[in-house]
């Protein structure tokens, strides 16, 4: 299995249902239908999966680290039931007024992911549902994918998407698009190689 590929996902609105009141407990965390299966499919094609999520609810006192750990434990356990694996979850615990470097749309969290996985982020797919996700992705050279789940439809209506943003219905559609693109590139390379060999053997 190829292990050099990485995809970065926002959490709320991409993997699980979002809430304007924050996800404050494990009971409130509910996977979007098909999202965990999409992660499993990406895993099967050699992708490591990292999550990059803003969690201002910590700074606002809406939940504590123990609760956040329980939410992520539920994510991991439910992922395992469908054969999916999330390699790492990165989160920003700060409020917007803290002006930290890790809260999206700032790029600190994504750069930390690049360092952890020892990978250049240029061209790495990032799937989000908000403009700040796309802005952070664009700044570090990731390929931005916007899904219509979560805040996605609102983000489309607001506009101002970074150049090259790919808009799709959900994470399952994003995974399908990404894997089809890779397959097409592979077939194109193989066709070119075949033509060159035929020319060489004439």
pTM value is 0.89
Quick check: is 20 catalytic?
no
Residue 160 in this model has a pLDDT that exceeds 60: yes
d(CA 136, CA 54): 12
| Domains in the chain, CATH or no CATH each | 5-200 (3.40.50.1000)
d(CA 137, CA 144): 6
The mean per-residue pLDDT over the stretch 141-165 comes to: 97
Query: Residue 182: its pLDDT value, please?
Result: 74
Q: Under a CB-based contact definition with an 8 Å cutoff, are residues 138 and 160 in contact?
A: no
* Confidence band, pLDDT 50/70/90 cuts, at residue 169: very high
150 or 202, which is more confident? 150
d(CA 188, CA 63): 50
SS3 109: helix
pLDDT single digits (tens) 78-97: 999 999 999 999 999 999 99
d(CA 107, CA 73): 26
> Which residue is catalytic, options 10, 18, 129, 133?
10
Quick check: is 101 catalytic?
no
Exposed, middle or buried by CB within 10 Å (0-12, 13-18, 19+), for 102?
A: buried
């Amino acid at each position: 299995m190829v292990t050099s590929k990485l995809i970065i996902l926002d959490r709320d609105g991409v993997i699980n249902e979002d809430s304007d009141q924050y996800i404050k407990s494990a009971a409130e965390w509910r996977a979007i239908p098909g999202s965990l299966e999409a992660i499993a499919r990406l895993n099967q094609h050699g992708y490591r999966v990292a999550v990059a999520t803003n969690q201002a609810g910590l700074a606002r006192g809406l939940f504590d680290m123990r609760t956040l750990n329980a939410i992520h434990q539920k994510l991991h356990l439910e992922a395992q039931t469908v054969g999916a694996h999330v390699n790492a979850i990165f989160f920003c615990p700060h409020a917007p007024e803290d002006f930290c470097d890790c809260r999206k749309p700032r790029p600190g969290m994504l750069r930390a992911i690049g360092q952890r996985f020892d990978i250049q982020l240029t061209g790495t797919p990032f799937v989000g549902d908000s403009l700040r996700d796309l802005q952070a992705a664009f700044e570090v050279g990731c390929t931005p994918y916007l899904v219509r789940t979560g805040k996605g439809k609102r983000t489309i209506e607001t506009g101002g998407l970074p150049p090259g943003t790919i808009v799709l219905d959900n994470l399952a559609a994003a995974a399908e698009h990404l894997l089809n693109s890779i397959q097409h590139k592979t077939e194109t390379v193989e066709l070119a190689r075949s033509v060159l060999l035929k020319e060489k053997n004439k």
